[in-house]
Structures are given as structure tokens and as C-alpha cells.
């Protein structure tokens, strides 16, 4: 047995001051039933008193009233002395007696809702600043520092286990529990300070001045069955205070537990369909789109996306940028189709019923609801872990690049070609480099992804497209180093190309396009995805 479980401290006096009052009254009643004296502040004291609990106001302990609109109430020696005094230190105990300070054995404190305030669109800068807690973190850190004698509780989720142990140990908590609570408390205040620092850093303007030190804070969302492979352990952490719809904020409506690979693919699916204004659907397989399409309706978009590569689509991930409707649900659940997960802003009741009641679907498919896919506001930062370090960059944001692209060929693209070029270019941004995407009639017909040479990607995309390559258009995420890509595309039957340009051999590619009577656009922007 861990010796720390035997080192207990009886809880006789508790200071309770919380913003999140979930489960507060029940927890406080349990403490009172064990004979614990309660001290509290402001709204917390009012809630406890209204519940019929005997509670001592902090001002009665300090002999000093709250002031500065509540900014100063617990910042006082009679509070912090009671928390920080070491019970095995005679000098500390003598000072407590000299100044008539009673020890505080338990601090229950969660902080002003800074991140929740930050996430509200209507919050002003003054609102946000006023929700920076000062006294709360001071009490939390003081109690956590003195964990050998004081317990610190920072979240309602901790209440049940604390109550259970207090009842089992007749009002006492073991050292192991106090130390674990201290660890959680320090993590809590570190995350809180990180959110505040991030907010003020974000006010510095664009582009970012990369800080000398980068401290990241994420919250546990869920443990995962395993990582990319069964022998790897894994968990999913979410970034606090994310205001926009994303995988981390999505609601799981139905299905089995998500896997590590599911989450990666769902993220890719959502980020792709978000880039389209029209109804759009995408099929993701192994973190690459194997099909994508736009349409006048969602069912039209899905039909085109699934038809892009039906073989690869089996067991894939579906993403939509509109609420899933009944017609689309019926198409998804046709015989001989199997989908791992679906992510969409929402689900029509009939669509949800269809997908969750079909015999071969109801036990397997996972459904995630994101809410409206608003464009993320502010600067988005991407992180990539490498052994011993971290790469940080601003996100690769898609602009209106095809519309403003330079026509470098003798023949400009037709309106239909330009529409398909815009589709192919958008999808290429989300394909692993070297990326080649073929599109025709509002749908992707062939993808070449992740090859070491661009000509191999062009060959793969054309092979995937088959006969559909004739009359299609091609997008390349980076420039063509040689004209052979243009020659191969033309030989296969493609009629127009969009690429960034910028190669020393650009003119050779332009000449090849003119020889084949192809249209070619240069965007001036590269979209590598490594």
C-alpha cells in the first residue's frame, strides 16, 4: 500500500469560492454533514446560505470588507496565512496563534470564466480583462503548494471522489489524494495563464512575432483505444476556448468510440468542405480526399463525391458543409456501401433515423455534429511535432486564387473549365504533396497523392480517372519542374491546368499547353501539404 494513503489530514475548515457552481450545494452539504466549517465569498456564499447552510463570510474572517467591486476579498494574511501555514512547523503555528488565524484545510475554488468570456462574440476587451481572476489563482496555488497539509479542489468533476474518500476516512483525505489534487491545480492555473497570455499576444497584430518561449495548454477530451496502430497508446486533447466549429468541438451523436485515425480523417474532411460556399461533400481515406464534389443540392454533391472513387470510398469518412438531409441519407445507405464516420453541421431527423436504424449501419457508423461552419476568426496557427522540437506556422488559408489567376496560355479557360479548375485547386490544397487533382463536371475524378515525383502523381490521377479524364481539368499544388506533366495530362485528355508557376522551366510548360491547345492558369500561390 502507498504510504501516502496513510498520511491523512482531517478537514475541519473549508474555503469555498467558485464561479462554476455545478454540484456546489450537494458538495458543501456533504462537508457540513462531516462537521466542516464553511467560509465563502460573494455569490458562492449567497448560494450556500440560500440552500440553508451555515457559512461564514470572508469579511468576517479578515475583518476587512470586500472592495474595488470585488477585486479584493481573499487577498489577506488571515486567508493566505491559514492556507500556507505548515502544520509541522512550530514557528508557523506560533504565528497563527499570535495573529489569531485559524488554519484552512480545504480550498474549493474554480476561476473566473475567462475562456468562456473570450469565446463570446459580444465580449468586449474590458469584459475579457475583468474576467481575469487574481485572488482565485493565488488561493489555488497557495493550497497546492501546501498540499502536505491542505487539499485543493478545482473542478466539480472532482467532488464525487472527494466526498467518497471523506466519508470513508471519517472526514480526512490522504496525502496521495492531496498531492494528485495539487498536480491538477497547477495544471489548471497554468492553462488559465496560458489562455490569458495567448489573448494578449493575439492583440499584438499581424504577422505574429514568434515568442521567445512557447507554452501550449490542451485539455483531455478522451482516451482512445489505441493510436495509429494497436500497439500504440493514444489520447485526444482539445484546445481550450476554440470559438469555431471543428472536430474538437463536435458533438458525437451516434456510434462506436472514435479512433486516432478517425479523428485525423474527420479533421481533414471538415477542413476541406469548409472551403466551399456551395453544397459540398468529400470522401476521405487515409487522410486524403478520394472523392469530392459540389452540387446544387447536397445529394448531388454526395453522389459526385462517392462516384469519384467508389472502391477507395469503402470504409471512408464523409464530410458535408450542409445539414444532412433525407435524400442524401438514402443515397449513403444504399447496398454495398460502408462508411466509418460522417461529420456535418447537423442532421435532419429523418436522415438521422435512416442512418441509425439500417441493420448494417446502426452499429458501425459514427455521426458527428459540428453546428454552423463559420469561417474561423483571427489568426490560426498550425503546429507540427518533430523529434526534439516543434514547427509552428500560420495556417494555409485558401484565397480567391483561381479567379485572380493569370492566364499564361494562348487560350483562356472556358467558364465551365474555370469552375472545375476552382474545384480541383481547392481540393489539391488538402491532398498530400506532390498533389495532382483532376475534376470534371463539379466532381473530382482522379487524385494523385503523396508521390515522390510529380509525374508519378499525374500518372496516378489519370489512371484513377480512367475514361473520365477526357475533358477534365487538372490542378497541381506546386509548379511543374518539366513539361512532361503537361504532355501526359494532354495525352490523357485533360483540357486545362491550374498551377502556381514559378519554375525556371515555366515557359516550356506554357509552350506545351499551347501546343496541345490547353488553357493554363498561374496562381502564384503554392499549397504544399506534407
Catalytic residue, chosen from 29, 194, 286, 350, is: 286
Q: pLDDT at residue 142 above 80?
A: yes
What local confidence, expressed as pLDDT, does residue 131 receive? 76
Domains of the chain, each with CATH number or no CATH? 7-202 (3.40.50.1380), 242-369 (3.40.140.20), 406-522 (3.40.140.20)
Average pLDDT, integer, range 442-464: 95
The confidence score (pLDDT) of residue 207 equals: 47
pLDDT band at 376 (very low <50, low <70, confident <90, very high): low
Q: Looking at the whole model, is its pTM more than 0.85?
A: no
Distance CA 481, CA 194 (A): 44
Beta bridge partners of 347: 324
The candidate with the shortest Cα–Cα distance to 366, out of 220, 219, 224, 218, is 224
Burial of 27 (0-12, 13-18, 19+ CB in 10 A): buried
Q: Percentage of residues in the chain with pLDDT exceeding 70?
A: 93
Active site residue 369: no
31: confidence class by pLDDT, cuts 50, 70, 90: confident
What percentage of the chain has pLDDT greater than the value 90? 50
Which residues on neighbouring strands pair with residue 251, listed in sequence order? 369
Residue 182 CA to residue 194 CA, distance in Å, equals 18
- 527 as an active site residue: the answer is no
| Model pLDDT for residues 501-530, shown as the tens digit of each residue | 999 999 999 999 999 999 999 999 999 999
User: Do 478 and 404 meet the contact criterion of CB atoms below 8 Å apart?
Assistant: no
- Rounded distance between C-alpha atoms, residue 63 and residue 10, angstroms: 26
Q: What is the mean pLDDT of residues 221-241?
A: 90
Confidence of residue 264 (pLDDT cuts 50, 70, 90): very high
Kindly report the CA angle at 479 between 477 and 481, in degrees rounded to 5?
135
Q: What is the pLDDT of residue 209?
A: 63
pLDDT at 206: 44
pLDDT at residue 503, as a whole number: 95
Residue range 346-369, pLDDT digits in tens: 999 999 999 999 888 878 899 999
Mean pLDDT across 304-313 = 94
Which letter, b or e, does each residue of 51-90 get, where b requires 16 or more Cβ atoms within 10 Å of its Cβ? eebebebbeebbeeebeeeeeebbebebbbbbbbbeeeee
Region 374-394: what's the mean pLDDT?
82
> Residue 476 above 60 pLDDT?
yes
- pLDDT reported for residue 32: 86
The answer on pLDDT for 208 being more than 60 is: no
Q: Detail the DSSP E strand segments found in 242-371.
A: 251-254, 280-285, 288-294, 316-320, 339-344, 366-369
Residue with cell 440552500: 51
Number of Cβ within a 10 Å radius of residue 504: 8
Stretch 295-303: mean pLDDT: 97
Q: Are 371 and 245 in contact (CB under 8 A)?
A: yes
What's the rounded Cα separation, in Å, for the pair 468 and 462? 9
Q: Residue 434, preceding bond cis, omega within 30 degrees?
A: yes
Instruction: Write down the mean pLDDT value for the chain.
Output: 87
Which residue is catalytic, options 95, 145, 244, 254? 145
The whole-number average pLDDT for the span 94-117 is 80
Look at the chain and count its residues. Answer: 530
Indicate if the alpha-carbon torsion angle 421, 306, 372, 378 is positive or negative: negative
What is the pLDDT at residue 67? 56
Task: Please tell me the distance from the alpha carbon of residue 475 to that of residue 521, in angstroms, as a whole number.
Answer: 10
Q: What is the pLDDT of residue 1?
A: 46
Distance linking the first and last C-alpha atoms of the chain: 49
Average pLDDT over residues 467-484: 96
Res 100: pLDDT: 77
What pLDDT shows up at residue 333? 93
Chain Cα centroid distance, residue 437: 28
**pLDDT class of 75 with cuts at 50, 70, 90:** low
Cβ(295)–Cβ(301) under 8 Å? yes
Decide: helix, strand or coil at residue 423: helix
CA distance 186 to 485: 56
The 10 Å Cβ neighbour count of residue 332 is 23
Q: 268-296, pLDDT tens digit by residue?
A: 999 999 999 999 999 999 999 999 999 99
27, 159 Cβ separation under 8 angstroms: yes
Number of Cβ within a 10 Å radius of residue 405:
23
Amino acid at each position: 500500500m502507498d504510504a501516502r494513503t496513510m498520511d491523512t489530514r482531517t478537514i475541519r475548515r473549508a474555503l469555498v469560492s467558485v464561479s462554476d457552481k455545478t454540484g456546489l450545494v450537494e458538495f458543501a452539504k456533504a462537508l457540513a454533514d462531516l462537521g466542516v466549517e464553511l467560509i465563502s465569498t460573494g455569490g458562492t456564499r449567497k448560494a450556500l446560505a440560500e440552500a440553508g447552510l451555515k457559512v461564514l463570510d470572508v469579511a468576517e474572517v479578515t475583518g476587512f470588507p470586500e472592495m474595488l467591486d470585488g477585486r479584493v476579498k481573499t487577498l489577506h494574511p488571515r486567508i493566505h496565512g491559514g492556507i500556507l501555514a505548515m502544520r509541522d512547523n512550530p514557528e508557523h503555528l506560533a504565528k497563527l496563534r499570535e495573529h489569531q488565524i485559524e488554519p484552512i484545510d480545504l480550498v474549493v475554488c474554480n476561476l473566473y470564466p475567462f475562456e468562456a468570456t473570450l469565446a463570446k462574440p459580444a465580449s468586449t476587451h474590458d469584459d475579457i480583462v475583468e474576467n481575469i481572476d487574481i485572488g482565485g489563482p493565488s488561493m489555488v496555488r497557495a493550497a497546492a503548494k501546501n498540499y502536505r497539509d491542505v487539499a485543493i479542489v478545482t473542478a466539480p468533476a472532482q467532488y464525487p471522489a472527494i466526498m467518497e474518500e471523506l466519508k470513508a476516512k471519517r472526514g480526512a483525505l490522504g496525502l496521495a489524494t492531496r498531492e494528485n489534487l495539487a498536480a491538477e491545480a497547477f495544471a489548471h492555473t497554468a492553462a488559465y495563464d496560458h489562455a490569458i497570455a495567448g489573448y494578449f499576444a493575439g492583440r499584438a497584430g499581424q504577422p505574429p512575432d514568434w515568442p521567445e518561449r512557447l507554452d501550449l495548454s490542451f485539455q483531455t477530451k478522451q482516451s482512445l483505444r489505441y493510436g495509429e496502430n494497436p500497439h500504440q497508446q493514444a489520447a485526444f486533447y482539445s484546445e481550450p476556448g476554440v470559438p469555431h466549429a471543428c472536430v474538437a468541438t463536435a458533438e458525437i451523436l451516434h456510434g462506436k468510440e472514435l479512433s486516432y485515425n478517425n479523428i485525423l480523417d474527420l479533421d481533414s474532411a471538415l477542413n476541406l468542405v469548409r472551403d466551399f460556399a456551395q453544397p459540398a461533400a468529400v470522401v476521405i481515406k487515409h487522410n486524403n480526399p478520394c472523392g469530392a464534389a459540389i452540387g446544387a443540392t447536397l445529394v448531388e454533391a454526395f453522389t459526385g463525391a462517392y462516384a469519384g472513387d467508389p472502391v477507395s470510398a469503402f470504409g471512408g469518412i464523409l464530410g458535408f458543409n450542409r445539414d444532412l438531409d433525407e435524400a442524401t441519407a438514402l443515397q449513403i445507405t444504399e447496398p454495398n456501401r460502408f462508411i466509418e464516420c460522417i461529420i456535418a453541421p447537423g442532421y435532419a431527423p429523418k436522415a438521422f433515423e435512416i442512418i441509425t436504424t439500417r441493420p448494417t449501419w446502426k452499429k458501425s457508423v459514427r455521426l458527428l455534429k459540428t453546428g454552423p461552419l463559420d469561417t474561423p476568426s483571427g489568426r490560426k496557427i498550425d503546429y507540427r511535432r518533430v523529434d526534439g522540437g516543434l514547427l509552428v506556422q500560420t495556417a494555409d488559408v485558401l484565397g480567391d486564387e483561381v479567379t485572380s489567376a493569370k492566364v499564361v496560355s494562348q487560350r483562356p479557360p472556358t467558364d465551365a473549365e474555370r469552375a472545375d479548375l476552382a474545384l480541383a485547386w481547392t481540393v489539391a490544397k488538402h491532398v498530400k504533396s506532390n498533389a495532382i487533382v483532376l475534376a470534371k463536371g463539379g466532381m473530382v475524378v482522379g487524385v494523385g497523392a503523396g508521390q515522390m515525383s510529380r509525374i508519378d502523381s499525374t500518372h496516378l490521377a489519370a489512371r484513377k480517372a480512367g475514361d473520365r479524364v477526357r475533358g477534365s481539368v487538372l490542378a497541381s499544388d506546386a509548379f511543374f519542374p518539366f513539361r512532361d506533366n503537361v504532355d501526359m495530362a494532354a495525352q490523357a485528355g485533360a483540357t486545362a491546368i491550374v498551377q502556381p508557376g514559378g519554375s525556371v522551366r515555366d515557359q516550356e510548360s506554357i509552350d506545351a499547353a499551347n501546343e496541345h491547345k490547353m488553357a493554363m492558369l498561374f496562381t502564384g500561390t503554392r499549397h504544399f501539404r506534407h
